[in-house]
A and B are shown apart, each in its own frame.
Chain A
């Protein structure tokens, strides 16, 4: 997936994110769930922010965390100290709230605020849990803005991450995206599948099916690293075979470094 943003669009994105975050941070306990949904929908529909969060890529048993805090009024969430883990954790907690509760107040652990006021409980939770998450995302957007300053002469900035690439361009400059590597590798692999049909060697079908699986995975952005690694191993074995056609061999040799970049 590829997104191109100009400097102006980055500014607008930052402004809109801060506006929707502020609305959640100062929400009334009655409107809490509606404002939480607005906040999460904005994040999910904004590729640069969504990719950044997905790239943190840690899984937590949030259902268990929420259940534990609900049953013990002295316990708060065990928020990780590592930045990326913290971002993942809080995002998953908020997502869990949005899918399993009708009221924003209901799942908030009582240990965050001993006041009997519902509003105080929501405010304290927002300051201690939601605000650090908002600050991390703000910091990420600020870093991209700072990158613009360094890359001003080239009028472009590229961010690579595992799940896709986001390009920022200054003043509508043209982007020559290296992400087109995906298009290139898909083209080569489809050509390789066709070339394999006329080859004869052991485990030919296995190599064909593995290649087709990886192609589908890249197209739908769901390619798993273990499968890509397996394919790279099989292609390495293919290259060492005697009697294969020069065309298939050349294609295989072109695919291998591209697969390694995908894997890394």
Chain B
């Protein structure tokens, strides 16, 4: 049994969403349509140039997802405990008390500030945003500078 929890990731005023390199941990931005395009099954980091098929979610998004998953588990456990308490009510041989429910944490609100510098990529005719330009940036789609 697999439960999917969906949540929305905001974009900035220019229509970009933040990503984070799993190797150098630097942040950059691309458009959601580019991120979801089938042909872009792997991305190159614009700063270090290394490539990965996954792992480009930012720390904030990972933390948000973990909090949502944790909350969902805690709700299931809390509900299970309440059901157990109800089931054993009035039973002369054994009793069950649920105790203090597990906490449901409010996840931090995801915010996407409009920052970074827009860069046009001549090779793939796309645009990205990077934090700084030091001798150019690697194209996240073809890996060439």
Contact = CB atoms under 8 A, between A and B. Distances in A.
B118 to A, nearest CB: 23
A4 B52 CA distance: 31
B143 A145 contact: no
Nearest to B143: A15
A25 B23 CA distance: 8
Interface of A: 11, 14-15, 18-19, 21-22, 25-26, 127, 131, 134-135, 138, 142, 145-146
Given A19-B51, A21-B50, A134-B50, A26 B22 contact: yes
Contacts of B48: 18, 135, 138
A18 B135 contact: no
B49 A138 contact: yes
A127 B24 CA distance: 9
Q: Is the interface of A mostly helix, strand, loop or mixed?
A: helix
A134 B22 CA distance: 15
Nearest to B136: A145
A142 B135 CA distance: 9
A145 B135 CA distance: 10
Given A142-B135, A146-B135, A22 B52 contact: yes
Contact of B145 (A11, A127, A134, A135): A11
Interface in B52-75: 52, 55
Contacts of B50: 18, 21-22, 25, 134
Nearest to B53: A26
A136 to B, nearest CB: 12
A21 B24 CA distance: 13
Contacts of B22: 26
Contacts of B135: 142, 145-146
Interface of B: 22-23, 44, 48-52, 55, 135, 143-145
B82 to A, nearest CB: 34
Contact of A19 (B23, B55, B143, B145): B143
Given A22-B51, A25-B50, A138-B49, A15 B23 contact: no
Contacts of A14: 49, 145
A26 B51 CA distance: 9
14 contacts: A11-B145, A14-B145, A18-B44, A18-B51, A18-B143, A22-B23, A22-B52, A25-B23, A26-B22, A26-B52, A127-B23, A131-B23, A145-B135, A145-B145
- List 7 tightest A-B contacts by C-beta distance, closest first: A22-B50, A22-B51, A18-B49, A15-B143, A18-B50, A26-B52, A11-B144
B127 to A, nearest CB: 21
A126 B51 CA distance: 15
B121 to A, nearest CB: 14
Given A18-B49, A18-B50, A25-B23, 5 more contacts: A22-B51, A135-B48, A142-B135, A145-B135, A145-B145
Contacts of B51: 18-19, 22
Nearest to B51: A22
Nearest to A15: B143
A131 B22 CA distance: 12
Nearest to A142: B135
A21 B144 CA distance: 15
Nearest to B134: A142
A11 B145 CA distance: 8
A127 B48 CA distance: 13
Among B22, B51, B55, B135: residue with most chain A CB under 10 A: B51
